Amino acid sequence: MSPTPTSPEADYRPRRRLEVGDAVLALYIAAFARQFFWPVGDNRAAWALTVALTAFVWLMHWRTKEAAGRTPALFWPVVALPLLFFYSLRAALPDLSWDVLDYRIINAERSFRGWPIPAADFFPTRFPFNPAPDMVMGLARRLLGYRLGTLVNLGAMVWAGAVLERLLRGFIRGAPARCLAVLLLLLTEQLLFEISNYMVDLLALPLMLEAARLALTSHEGAREQRRTLARVGLYLGASLAFKLTNLAVAVPVLALCAYRFAARQWRFDARAAAYALAGVALPLLPYSLYIYHQTGNPVFPLYNWLFKSPYWPVLDPRTERWGPIVDDPRFKSMRAWEVLLWPLLHPFRVEHTAGDLGPHWGRVSVGFLASIAGIAWRGADARVRALSFVTLVCAVLWSAASGMLRYAMFVELVGGLIALYFAAHLFKTGAARLPARAGACVIVAALVAQTASSCVYAFDFEWGGRPTFFRNPGAHLPELRHLFRDRDPRAFLSDEERALFDGVGAWAESSPVTSGFQVMLKPEAPEWCLYMTEFFETEVSRRRFRRAIEASRGAPVFTLCMTEEFKFATDNIRRAGFGVGRIQTLSLPYYSHRARFPTSYFIEVLPPGAGGARTFDITRAEAPLPPNGFNAALTWAASPPRVLKAGELTSVRVVLRNASASRWPALGGAGGNFRILLGNHWLDRSGRELIHDDGRGAIPYDLAPGEEAELLMTINAPPAPGDYTLEIDLLQEGVSWFALKGSKTLKADLRVEK
């Protein structure tokens, strides 16, 4: 919707300007360029070629990009500044999101070093999707550090806002109103949940919006038309490489381009059409060919019912939280209707869309209804009708493919824009009619209410679960000193911890969340995914696993797993034919001396038939221990610190021996009752209790009488300076502390300073 000659946006001569999108695009180009140089064996040479190709392609982009009117000066305080505010709410704390630690970091690290699945690896990421978006995030991490690497998401949102502002110029004349409208569109729940973490869904948004905008433009000549269609293709191809679910946007945008040729709105040009299709294919080509060669499926592991890769069973990867799935056979006939109406139904199906996906107030529903109205109303602007077609088809395809809210951001943005078009139209044409103006107010009020609720939710929820600065300023302020200085996680380890990981020859991935942390601690070590049963279901896959093991024969193998996943991890190790050796409890710093990775176990993985393998029983306690079961022997595994800062988090190591005549189960019953845990109190030097209950530490497996285990527990130093006694005791949750039954505690004197 470019400005007309009489519009207020045409009072200056358009020219090429450096924009936020150009800087973000440079990272995108570098990620794709690196994929083309995977065959280059020397990593330094590959990166030198990557930088050269990136510079060339970016300069070509700059020289051929559309000359456009400048973004209004008001855009920066009205749109960019609020986005920066929401970004900064959690930016000081390192992101510990599940998906990030599970497979996104591995995708980036492996792809930076060469082929994503080296010969010594066995599917190092359980979802080997195209690593392009993770490579973009990884590049930002290397340039800015771990905390500020997420600025690329903020840049993508600002870029998306700039595209929306240009789309709005056709029917909102004033720059202040237009910028407020852009802010209204951008502040939706899913966008705010991801703005400051390493989730990658935001990266494709500006590309898809720009592709849709370019599909609406007219051209003065064949050369300009070819350039436009090449860009449409490249933007959509990159969007598909970032997320295959973006096919729901690519299909209607390409269909719109085809319609414009058929309706003779564009002069048919076979070369232009070929440029568009080549543009779509180019970003997809390197990884699609590689993963097809590796697995027999160019989009592995998706659509395996079609490609039938021997490395993955034929299944539908969706779960009940993804959207319109009707499992009851009596309602199978409702499936098509539920898919078609899912954009309207999803606000009322909270069991499918809440939980870890966060709350929502139905912006997709508003966009869906607005797009129907835009198509049905013959008086609508032709460009709005085209956008309505794209949005409606996108909503239906999204619903049929997944129905997952964070894959519908395009529908939220463009659907909201169409709703604003109707509000603006009602205001202009209904100046003398109260019902028309009332209708416009209702539309705007609905969007404002949704935006307000999104902002409220953004204070309470995000993918990584980090508190905002306002909720816990004490956690944020000390972390600010690490900005731009947190590129290497090993720099935060002690000499002892670095030596521990230097001895790793290969990593066994025994559980999901520790996978990413492992590759950061020793990135060059091969990784074998043991916890995905799908990778072991066929003989072809098992042979590949044996080849990976053979390539690392003799290398010391270890794994990390979190406390609550100990049973799951050790079961996976044994199922893969290995044994469990030495176990050490760790609480590792995560790009911070204060923020720590969840308490985990560093487990030695023994080759088949090796001596020293251990077995464990892990059972649940369903009742209190008998009277003779409350007797523990506690000793320090390492001397506790003598001086702490007020409120400081630190860890202590304790060796726990079952000195009773009863077996101690590792797990509790319903609600955690009867679980046996390590705990602590804070006393003054006279022995008076000041803080009754502080940290917790769990036993990883059942302890028989006389058996011992090393436990690690995180404690919080008291808030006031002074001399204190740290007292360690055992408790059975909901029953009693062991000391109350006559067991001896473990004590240490220390000082707390400001």
Q: What is the pLDDT of residues 484-516, one digit of tens each?
A: 999 999 999 988 889 999 999 999 999 998 998
For residues 461 and 194, give the distance between their C-alpha atoms in angstroms, rounded to a whole number. 10
For residues 174 and 72, give the distance between their C-alpha atoms in angstroms, rounded to a whole number. 10
- Alpha carbon distances (Å) from 683 to 632, 636, 743: 20, 18, 18
For residues 105 and 137, give the distance between their C-alpha atoms in angstroms, rounded to a whole number. 9
Give the three-class secondary structure for 391. Answer: helix
With contact defined as beta carbons under 8 Å apart, do 421 and 374 qualify? Answer: yes
For residues 301 and 198, give the distance between their C-alpha atoms in angstroms, rounded to a whole number. 22
For residues 145 and 35, give the distance between their C-alpha atoms in angstroms, rounded to a whole number. 23
With contact defined as beta carbons under 8 Å apart, do 110 and 116 qualify? Answer: yes
Of 669, 679, 671, 661, the closest CA to residue 623 belongs to: 669
For residues 227 and 598, give the distance between their C-alpha atoms in angstroms, rounded to a whole number. 50
As a dihedral over the C-alpha atoms of residue 561, residue 562, residue 566, residue 570, rounded to 10 degrees, the angle is -10
With contact defined as beta carbons under 8 Å apart, do 176 and 193 qualify? Answer: no
Q: What is the DSSP string of 225-287?
A: HHHHHHHHHHHHHHHHHH-GGGHHHHHHHHHHHHHHHHTTSS---HHHHHHHHHHHHHHHHHH
Of 612, 608, 604, the closest CA to residue 570 belongs to: 604
Residue ranges of the chain whose pLDDT lies below 50: 1-13, 328, 330-331, 354-355
Q: What is the DSSP string of 108-134?
A: HHHHHHSSSS-TT-B-SSSS----HHH
**How many beta carbons lie within 10 A of that of residue 530, not counting itself?**
27
The H or E element that residue 726 is part of is strand 722-732
Of 360, 339, 369, the closest CA to residue 409 belongs to: 360
Q: Across-strand partners of 682?
A: 691, 726
**Amino acid type, 195:** I
**How many beta carbons lie within 10 A of that of residue 734, not counting itself?**
13
At 240, list the tokens: 């598909």
At 407, list the tokens: 């894959």
Q: For residue 627, what is the DSSP state?
A: G
Three-point CA angle 507, 513, 514, nearest 5° = 30
Q: What is the pLDDT of residues 181-234, one digit of tens each?
A: 999 999 999 999 999 999 999 999 999 999 999 999 987 788 889 999 999 999
Give the three-class secondary structure for 753. Answer: strand
Q: Across-strand partners of 561?
A: 601
Residue 516 φ then ψ, to 5°: -65, -35
**Tell me, what's the pLDDT at 612?**
75
pTM check: above 0.85: yes
- Alpha carbon distances (Å) from 438 to 381, 422, 433, 604: 21, 12, 9, 69
**Tell me, what's the pLDDT at 323?**
66
Q: For residue 76, what is the DSSP state?
A: I
Three-point CA angle 295, 297, 298, nearest 5° = 115
The H or E element that residue 448 is part of is helix 434-460
Q: For strand 708-716 and strand 696-698, is the pairing parallel, antiparallel, or unpaired?
A: unpaired
